[in-house]
Amino acid sequence: MIGPDPFPLSSPPGPQVRPVHDPFHGDLLEVSMGPHHPSTHGVFRMMVTLDGETVVKLKPVFGYLHRNHEKIGENTSYLGSMPYTDRLDYLCSMTNNWAYALAVEKLAGQAVPERAEYLRVILAELTRLLNHTCLAGFLLQDCGASGTPLMYAFREREKILDLFESLSGSRMMCNYQRFGGCRVDPPAGWLEAARTVAGNYGQFLDEYEALLTGNEILMARTQGVGVLPGPLAVSAGVTGPMLRAAGVAYDLRKVDGYGVYPRFEFRVPLGAHGDTYDRYMVRVLEMRESIGILRQALRDIPGGPIMDPKARLRGFRAKPGEVYSRIEGPKGEIGFYLISEGGPNPYRYRVRPPSLINLTILEDLCLGQSIADTVVILGSIDIVLGEVDR
């Protein structure tokens, strides 16, 4: 659009976003995609400059969900920040909780009993299943399959949310991990119900894949689209399934071996091309591996206490020091950097958001593609704005 913008940007337009009149190619069109747009990723805005339908420049604009989580973390006690970590990546609250609990446990030198470690692995893998299923649904929604894969995905998600609700009291904001273990022991029958859900998930994945994986529309829209080369991914700090789809074998469950992950046998799927189809397939294969881990963990979970007896919840203070600890969340490496000065609140509370850092190469992936592909590429990066903006 040429002329004064009736909806001006919050950032003053620099030379790169003003419409440019290029005499050889005609006018370039500048489109503001967002912050309210039908793609269901949240309040994210992309300033896209188009030459016809091809993307010439893309600048993401963040901050529409900046809720000053880090400042609240400095003004709240360690335990008081646990419910806020639920709201970071609001689809995967259990893994956010674990990442934060792990960071504080490392800061304070706190041990965790074995039953709690197994439970954490079970909940993290259930969260991974939930997240990847929803991602497949949202990606297909962005491709235009408006509703059906998302309906199937949410139907399965409800079964896992039932498990979370009976365990922690809340569907989404579980607030379940504590420093030194978990909040409460699973009720009677919970492990059986989890076994049933994990057992049936393979069949659901078969049904889902029969609908999607060989689907020629999906393949035509995603193969060769948004190719991410491995070295660029490493330099840009991309982590999670996106990095593995680019061919780099780096999964923190294997590399760092946190929790009791070294006891389980599972493979790490890698992509060969780094395109959107690979990112989708890596997530589907990760779901299959997660079902395997769940089966092993639910079989081997020992009895015992759920919380370390020496853990102090009230009046928790960590010794002065700092720590950076990370886990493999469903979206990538989620890390917490905490600086303690010995008081009840952390001095500095920093979240390493995988979604924000995965977006570093959004422009690189979208250049030269058509604008319809931009939505598909964004869908395959798997962002959640609660984490991007914190």
Of residues 3-62, which lie at the interface with another protein (CB under 8 A)?
A: 7, 10-12, 35-38, 40, 42-43, 62
Which of 27, 51, 70, 209 contacts another protein by CB under 8 A?
70
What is the distance between the alpha carbons of residues 386 and 390, in angstroms, rounded to a whole number? Answer: 5
Q: Choose, by CB under 8 A, the member of 277, 326, 331, 376 that binds another protein.
A: 326
Q: Give the residue, chosen from 323, 371, 376, 378, that forms a contact with another protein under the rule CB under 8 A.
A: 323
The nearest distance, CB 152 to another protein, in angstroms, is 8
Determine whether 52 is exposed, middle or buried from the number of CB atoms within 10 Å of its CB (0-12, 13-18, 19+): exposed
Q: Per CB under 8 A, which region of 64-72, 178-186, 195-203, 212-220 contacts another protein?
A: 64-72
Least Å distance, CB 20 to another protein, is 17
Q: Contacting another protein (CB under 8 A), which of 335, 366, 371, 375?
A: 335
Residue (101 or 248) nearer to another protein, CB: 248
Of the pair 119, 133, the CB lying nearest another protein is at: 133
Of 101, 200, 84, 205, give the one whose Cα is nearest residue 149.
205
- Interface residue with another protein among 95, 350, 366, 380 (CB under 8 A) is 350
Burial label, 101 (beta-carbon count in 10 A; 0-12, 13-18, 19+): buried
62 neighbors 71 (Cβ within 8 angstroms)? no
Our finding on whether 106 is near another protein (CB under 8 A) is yes
Give dist(CA 218, CA 275) in Å, integer.
12
Q: Please answer whether residues 58 and 48 qualify as being in contact, where contact means their C-beta atoms are separated by less than 8 angstroms.
A: yes
Q: Kindly state whether residue 236 participates in binding another protein, applying the rule CB under 8 A.
A: yes
Least distance (Å) from another protein to the CB of residue 210? 19
Stretch of residues binding another protein (CB under 8 A), selected from 50-58, 150-158, 189-197, 292-300: 150-158
Min CB(299)–another protein separation in Å: 30
63 lies in the site for another protein, by CB under 8 A: yes
Residues in the chain: 390
Residue range at the interface with another protein (CB under 8 A); choices 22-30, 291-299, 353-361, 368-376 = 353-361
* DSSP strand pairing (181-182 vs 177-178): antiparallel
Q: How far is the CB of 63 from another protein (least distance, A)?
A: 4
Give the one residue of 66, 200, 267, 304 binding another protein; rule: CB under 8 A. 66
316 near another protein, judged by CB under 8 A? no
| Residue in 328, 382, 334, 281 with CA at minimum distance from that of residue 125 | 328
- Output DSSP code: residue 345: S
Count interface residues toward another protein (CB under 8 A): 76
Compute the Cα dihedral for 353, 356, 358, 360 and give only its sign. negative
Measured from the CB atom, the residue of 86 and 119 that comes closer to another protein is 86
Alpha helices in 228-311 (DSSP H): 230-235, 241-245, 252-255, 276-300
| Tokens coding 345 | 């609140």
- Identify which of residues 84 and 100 has a Cβ nearer to another protein in the complex: 84
Name the one residue in this structure whose structure tokens are 């490493």.
Answer: 234
Give the integer Cα–Cα distance in Å for 92 and 283. Answer: 15
Stretch that binds another protein, among 148-156, 190-198, 210-218, 261-269 (CB under 8 A): 148-156
Instruction: Give all strands (DSSP E) within 165-209, no chain letters.
Output: 177-178, 181-182
Q: Are 238 and 365 in contact (CB under 8 A)?
A: no
Interacting residues with another protein between 152 and 211 (CB under 8 A): 154-155, 157-158, 171-173
Let me know the angle formed at the C-alpha of 103 by 286 and 167, rounded to the nearest 5 degrees: 60
Residues 256-315 that bind another protein (CB under 8 A): none
